[in-house]
Every structure is written in structure tokens, then in C-alpha cells.
């Protein structure tokens, strides 16, 4: 499948590499291609494009840009390159203006995922993977053999099903469908607990399991 | 031990009943004692007091009032009745002004627990139990035999140790010390995920387990 991954950070790199490893045709998108040259030298199956080239390439597009930059990045990617496509939003609206630990720039009665959905109403936004670090996103079995949960939120049931299939191909066993995209308010807010777990446990190879 | 439990809702009732069952000398505090008469008829070992009487009685005091009312309730309880005591804050600053699901009235760069600590600097505020429903607070073994985590946050290490002992007496096995009271920003924010889990799972007898 043709995949476009917007972003140049750890999440974008991890997702791009994993998708390529699984046989997909991947373009990673950034306005600062030089940042990715070193990484690309060991990931030669992934091509580098602009935001717009990357979104145009993807049958499915990932938003792995910094949350505070996502709306701008998606605007540069272009509405016409996102229309009728699934946009997998893995970003978090982390506000580091006061250092670590971060706060969030949007919270409570809204979420970054919903802001993106409102800005691109013809795109099928699916929020997932934002509750774990990049390596766990793409290699969930490396934490307790996958005995933990990833969440998924979105308004389009078919789009969620396609993303669930992709998550399973990454190795995810426990995929928790929270419901419509407004439930991303919950998973984005959880990041404020995640950063504290990370701060205490001295490893980012962590996640939570829902227990009942 | 003499225990004071501020509040009249499910959490205050559950904690008061459990403390009495464990042999503590418990007063539950509310300005609306009539609300608790029916409950008290089957919990006769628990006495009902005003906020001030309840705080004065407790060697350890619980804040189980509604989060949006907590600062006012604690003010009525009286600084002099809280000085040098442990205040176990189990409340959440849930904002239901737009109905369900709620938002939070304080978030990100601050927390209700820290607001309380600033208002009562001579009190040892310990945040815990706010991430589970009342029944799970007091009977953690009823969910997966206790195979899940409760969090604890506070600035006073000795106070946390005492509260950890109390949590163990409730049945808690996995008690995760997140660090100082600012980490309550994480557990309070988590409520926005909890309400979505609750909405999806149709039961409040749920919790999370930290996996690494």
C-alpha cells in the first residue's frame, strides 16, 4: 500500500521504517529533508518528500508531526491531498514552553484530533498510537509480549477497521476502540500521566493494560 | 486510628464504611447530614459531623468532596483542624457544566491537589485513589484479584508511607509512587481517559495496570 508519513521525528521514522519493512511503499515527509539524510541511509526503501508530495503519495497518511505544528503541517500537505483518505493521527499537543514535564495546548472539551478533523472534514481522521513511545508504536511485542492496550478513536467505522488491521500487522494484540473522535480527548490527556510514568520508571518502553 | 472523611458521596461513604470495618474510629463530614441518615442506618459505627468536626476528629483526614467544591469544603473544615495532618485527597476537579463526559476545572500546569497544598501549606497532602471508582478504591481485590495499579503523589515521604500502609489494608497490592504532588497533574488528567473507558465498557469496576 502507498503510505505517506508526515514528520521527521522519532515517531515518523519508526512508523516509516516499520511500514517499509512490512512491504509498503513509503514516503516520509518534511520540509527539512536534510534532517533525514542520515536516517535514510539505513532506510533506503523510504523516500523523502515534501509534506504535499508525501500526502499525495499516500493512500493512507500518518500525522507524526509535533502536535503543536500539526495543523500547519497538514495545511502545507494540502486539503486536496488528504481528501477521502484515512489520516492516522499519532501526535500529541504537547506544550514544552515551560520545559519538562509538558502541558497540552488543547484539552478537555476539545482535542488535537478533533481540531484536525474540523480543519479537514473530508478526511477520515483516526487517532491511535499516541499513548506510547515510537518504538512501542511499531514493536508492541517488545513490551511484555504485547500484553497491553493501544486505543483507537474515530468517526468512520470502516476507516478504524483498516487502521486496526494495520496495527495488527505491527504486532498489536489488544486494540481498544474507544468510540468516536471525541474520545481522543481521553488519550491525549493521558499523556500527562505517561510523562510522569516515564519520569519515574526511567524507560519509555512502557504502556498500560486495561483491567476489569 | 481516628479518621475524618470529608464528603457525602459514593467515595466518602465507601471510604468511611471500609475504615470502620477495619476498626478505625470514623467521622464522615458534610453540612447536609440528612443526606447520610439512610446510609448511616446500615453503617452505625460511623458518626456524622460537620466539615470542621470531622477534620478535628481525624488524625488522618480524607478529602472525598466534589473536586469543584473541595477548596471551599476544606476552608469550612478549618486550617487549624488540618495543620500537621495527612490529608488524603481522592477527589477530581470534574467539570460537568456541559454534561457527560466532563472536562476538568484545573489542568496541565496545576492540579487540584496542588491547589489544596498551596491553600493549606502546613497540611501533608497525599493524592491517591482518584483514578478508580469508589468500590475499587476500597475493595481493589474485586477487580482481577488486585492485578492493577493505584498511584500515589505527595511531597512528604513519611506521609506517603503511612497512606501506603492504609492502602495495603484496603487490599491494594500494586501501589505506584509517582513522586511529588505535581505528579497529581497526571492522575487527575487521566480521568478524561477513565470516563471514556467507563463509557465504552459499561462498568466502573475497571482500572489500569502499568506494563513494562
Look at the block and give the residue holding cell 495543523.
Answer: A71
* Average of per-residue pLDDT across B57-83: 98
State the pLDDT at residue B21: 98
Verify whether the Cβ–Cβ distance B197 to A210 is below 8 Å.
Answer: yes
* Average of per-residue pLDDT across A74-93: 98
All residues of chain B having their beta carbon less than 8 Å from the beta carbon of residue A179 are 196, 199-200
State the pLDDT at residue B4: 98
* Average of per-residue pLDDT across B20-31: 97
Q: DSSP assignment, residue A10? A: H
Instruction: Say how many C-beta atoms besides its own lie within 10 A of residue A30's C-beta.
Output: 21
Residue partners of A179: CB distance under 8 A and separation at least 6: A153, B196, B199, B200
Stated pTM of the model = 0.97
Interface confidence, given as ipTM, is 0.97
State the pLDDT at residue B39: 96
Residue of B193, B194, B201 lying closest to A212 (CB–CB): B201
State the pLDDT at residue B204: 98
State the pLDDT at residue B99: 92
| Nearest Cα residue to A85 out of A93, A73, A76, A77 | A77
Q: Is B208 on the interface with A (CB under 8 A)?
A: yes
Alpha-carbon gap, residue B118 to A120, rounded angstroms: 43
What percent of chain B has pLDDT above 90?
100
At A22-51, the pLDDT tens digits run: 999 999 999 999 999 999 999 999 999 999
Locate A110 and state its grid cell.
476539545
H helix runs in chain A, sequence order: 10-21, 37-41, 51-57, 70-77, 79-82, 112-119, 134-138, 157-170, 184-201
Locate B99 and state its grid cell.
454534561
Q: Is A95 on the interface with B (CB under 8 A)?
A: yes
Residue to mutate among B147, B193, B195, B203, with most A CBs inside 10 A, is: B193
β-strand partners of B152? B128, B177
At A139-193, the pLDDT tens digits run: 999 999 999 999 999 999 999 999 999 999 999 999 999 999 999 999 999 999 9
Q: DSSP assignment, residue A102? A: P
State the pLDDT at residue B125: 99
Task: For chain A, positions 116-155, list CB contacts with chain B under 8 A.
Answer: 143-144, 147-148
* Average of per-residue pLDDT across B97-113: 95
Contact, B125 vs B117, CB < 8 A?
Answer: yes
Q: Is B62 on the interface with A (CB under 8 A)?
A: no
State the pLDDT at residue B110: 97
- Name the pairing type of β-strands B60-63 and B103-104: unpaired
Alpha-carbon gap, residue A209 to B17, rounded angstroms: 30
Residue partners of A101: CB distance under 8 A and separation at least 6: A192, A195, A196, A199, B182, B185, B186
State the pLDDT at residue A119: 98
Q: What is the mean pLDDT of chain A?
A: 97
Full DSSP string of A51-89 = HHHHHHH-SEEEE-S-GGGHHHHHHHH-HHHHTTSEEEE
Ranges B97-101, B152-156, B183-187: which has the least confidence: B97-101
Q: Which residue of chain A comes nearest to B140, CA vs CA?
A: A212
Residue A168 φ/ψ, nearest 5 degrees? -65, -35
Verify whether the Cβ–Cβ distance A201 to B194 is below 8 Å.
Answer: no
State the pLDDT at residue A102: 96
State the pLDDT at residue B203: 97
Alpha-carbon gap, residue B80 to A158, rounded angstroms: 60
At B132-150, the pLDDT tens digits run: 999 999 999 999 999 999 9
Q: Which residue of chain A comes nearest to B199, CA vs CA?
A: A178
Amino acid at each position: 500500500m502507498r503510505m505517506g508519513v508526515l514528520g521527521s521525528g522519532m515517531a515518523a521514522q519508526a512508523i516509516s521504517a516499520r511500514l517499509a519493512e512490512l512491504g509498503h511503499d513509503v514516503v516520509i515527509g518534511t520540509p527539512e529533508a536534510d534532517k533525514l539524510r542520515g536516517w535514510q541511509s539505513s532506510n533506503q526503501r523510504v523516500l523523502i518528500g515534501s509534506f504535499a508530495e508525501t500526502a499525495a503519495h499516500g493512500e493512507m497518511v500518518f500525522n507524526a508531526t509535533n502536535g503543536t505544528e500539526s495543523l500547519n503541517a497538514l495545511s502545507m500537505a494540502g486539503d486536496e491531498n488528504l481528501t477521502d483518505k484515512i489520516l492516522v493521527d499519532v501526535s500529541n499537543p504537547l506544550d514544552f514552553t515551560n520545559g519538562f514535564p509538558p502541558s497540552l495546548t488543547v484539552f478537555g472539551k476539545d482535542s488535537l484530533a478533533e481540531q484536525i478533523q474540523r480543519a479537514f472534514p473530508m478526511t477520515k481522521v483516526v487517532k491511535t498510537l499516541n499513548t506510547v513511545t515510537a518504538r512501542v508504536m511499531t514493536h508492541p511485542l517488545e513490551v511484555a509480549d504485547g500484553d497491553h492496550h493501544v486505543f483507537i478513536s474515530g468517526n468512520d467505522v470502516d476507516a478504524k477497521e483498516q487502521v486496526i488491521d494495520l496495527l495488527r500487522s505491527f504486532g498489536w494484540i489488544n486494540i481498544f476502540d474507544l468510540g468516536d473522535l471525541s474520545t481522543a480527548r481521553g488519550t491525549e490527556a493521558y499523556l500527562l500521566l505517561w510523562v510522569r510514568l516515564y519520569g519515574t520508571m526511567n524507560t519509555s518502553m512502557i504502556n498500560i493494560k486495561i483491567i476489569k
